[in-house]
Amino acid sequence: MSHFAQVVRVPGDPILGLIEAYRADPNPAKLDLGVGVYKDARGLTPIPQAVKRAEQRLVETETSKSYIGGHGDPLFGARLAELVLGADSPLLAAQRAGASQTPGGTGALRLAADFIAHCLPGRGIWLSEPTWPIHETLFAAAGLRIGHYPYVGADNRLDVEAMLAALNQLPKGDVVLLHACCHNPTGFDLAPRDWKRVLEVVKARELLPLIDFAYQGFGDGLEDDAWAVRLFASELPELLVTSSCSKNFGLYRERTGALLVCAATPDKLQDVRSQLASLARNLWSTPPAHGAAVVATILDDAELKALWIDELEAMRQRVASLRLGLVEALRPYGLAERFAHIAEQRGMFSYTGLTPAQVQRLRAEDSVYLVGSGRANVAGLDANRLDDLASAIARVCG
Ligand SMILES: Cc1ncc(COP(=O)(O)O)c(C=O)c1O
């Protein structure tokens, strides 16, 4: 008898398929705008100098590889909570907020999902349409009821009115997932006035917000990007925030992130955290140490922190200038207005508005690789070849 005879093959992640097709493409002028990692002008995903220096320090000073606790490195948790909520956060002073270290932002999302499934039974979770595809599969894997609220209209623009109208209909007590900044996959972020309106609906419908914060520092800057999270934390008694250090610290494969909980009282925070440690025991037991130790070392050292902030700001500015550069390159083709949203979006991703057929033509005729939805990773652009890309876009749009 074959135990595995009944096991069928599932299709791979479509973005991984795109990476393979890109690798196999012999065209030297090929352009990878698919994969979701930051790239510098050389097309590389660099290790920040601040990370390198922190790692050197750790190699010299580390004395044990014994397990770290269920909530991870306490210094990492404390410094990350300050980064997200603000060093002067009244919640931190009141011991109403705490961070549990997780393997990346994905681990934080899965821990949040299991917490909701286990401790808040019956609550559904509402995701933006579209959202990061892993949100869909991860919350389904945890057994949660999933619903969607509209986010982008048929005109490829943020549709705040439709979003608010849908949120206003949600069952009381359900969980709503919001992207803190740099919405993946669209790049469309809520303006402060929109966030305030969403907050009012969250209060009126007594929803629990779960804010996914995977790109702090990539939108308008480290502090500005945290504005909505801090608004919600100051106005609501309870909140969940998932934080990822993959992009902003360049620590992708080190799996570094945290689930932050804000609770009404210090005592209730400890109740929730006890559940998180217990749930994590069944997921990964204790989190991996290295990436969090790197982040803690950087954030706890004024010099390293200043270096990291400069490096992060350079990444942010590169993406922002590529956005502007592409729109300018499209101007001679009369397409600057049509693609003006690319400059207004934030973060690495852009819902360009290119159709699946146009994406297909760009790949076949120009070796430009985008996700079928028209999502482009702006960081993958080459500043010296924006004109080539603009001419290719003009051709497939013509
Ligand atoms: C919206 C969003 N959330 C969470 C994550 C999780 O990132 P990681 O698990 O690599 O830290 C990502 C990564 O691409 C993301 O785009």
pLDDT band at 81 (very low <50, low <70, confident <90, very high): very high
CA 59 to chain centre: 29
108 and 192 both lie in a single domain:
yes
- Does 5 fall in a domain? no
Report CA(248)–ligand 1 centroid distance (Å): 11
- Mutational test site, ligand 1, from 45, 177, 184, max ligand atoms within 8 Å of CB: 184
Q: Which CATH number covers residue 260?
A: 3.40.640.10
Please report, for the domain that includes residue 342, its CATH number: 3.90.1150.10
339 and 384 inside one domain:
yes
Same domain, 160 and 245: yes
Q: 12 falls in which pLDDT band (50, 70, 90)? A: confident
Same domain? For 288 and 343 the reply is: no
If asked whether residues 369 and 261 sit together in one domain, one would say: no
Q: Which atom of ligand 1 is nearest to the CA of 108?
A: 9
How far from 44 is each of 27, 40, 48, 77, 106, CA to CA, in Å?
Answer: 18, 5, 12, 29, 23
Q: What is the pLDDT of residues 256-279, one digit of tens each?
A: 999 999 999 999 999 999 999 999
Give how far Cα 228 sits from Cα of 251, 261, 343, Å. Answer: 24, 15, 21
Q: How far apart are CA 188 and CA 182, in angstroms?
A: 7
Question: Is residue 203 among the annotated active site residues?
Answer: no
User: Same domain for 98 and 201?
Assistant: yes
Active site residue 284: no
Residue 21 in any domain: the answer is yes
Helix residue ranges per DSSP H, 6-73: 14-24, 49-61
Average pLDDT along the chain: 96
The pLDDT value given to residue 13 = 80
Tally the domains of the chain.
Answer: 2
Task: For ligand 1, atom 15, name the residue with the nearest CA.
Answer: 214
Domain residues for the domain of 118 are: 67-300
* 213, 244, 251, 294: residue to mutate for ligand 1 pocket, most atoms within 8 A of CB: 244
Q: What is the mean pLDDT of residues 95-110?
A: 98
User: What torsion, rounded to 10 degrees, do the Cα atoms 159, 162, 165, 171 define?
Assistant: -100
Which member of 212, 225, 308, 366 is catalytic? 212
pTM summary value: 0.97
Cα dist from 266 to 76, 89, 95, 276, whole Å: 19, 14, 5, 15
33 in the same domain as 93: no
**Residue 310, in any domain of the structure:** no
Verify that 293 and 322 share a domain, yes or no.
no
Residue nearest to atom 7 of ligand 1 (CA): 105
Confidence of residue 398 (pLDDT cuts 50, 70, 90): confident
Ligand 1 nearest-atom number relative to CA 132 = 1
164 in the same domain as 106: yes
Is residue 14 over pLDDT 80? no
Local confidence band at 96 (pLDDT 50, 70, 90 cut-offs): very high
Q: Which residues line ligand 1 (CB under 6 A)?
A: 36, 104-106, 132, 179, 184, 212, 214, 244, 246, 252, 257
Tell me the mean pLDDT in the region 23-34.
94
Q: Are 147 and 119 in contact (CB under 8 A)?
A: no
271 catalytic residue (yes or no): no
Which of 251, 270, 300 is the C-terminal boundary of a domain?
300
State pLDDT tens for residues 194-215.
Answer: 999 999 999 999 999 999 999 9
What are the φ/ψ torsions at residue 262 (nearest 5 degrees)? -110, 125
**Do 128 and 257 fall within a single domain?**
yes
Q: Which of 251, 269, 300 is the last residue of a domain?
A: 300
Indicate if 84 and 134 belong to the same structural domain: yes
Q: Which pLDDT belongs to residue 64?
A: 95
Domain identity same for 190 and 268: yes
Residue 287 confidence (pLDDT) above 80: yes
